[in-house]
Amino acid sequence: MDPINEVHVSRPGLVVVDVATADDATALAFQRLLADRWATSTAERATHDVGQPGVRLRCYLDLRQPITPSTERADAVPEISAAAPR
Return the ∠ at Cα 37 (arms to 30 and 58), rounded to 5°.
Answer: 40
Residue type, 15: V
DSSP track, 40-63: EE--SS-B--TTSSSEEEEEEEET
41 in Cβ contact with 17 (< 8 Å)? no
Beta bridge partners of 61: 15, 40
- What's the pTM value of the predicted model, to 2 decimals? 0.62
Q: Tens digits of per-residue pLDDT, 7-51?
A: 666 788 888 888 899 999 999 999 888 888 887 777 777 888 888
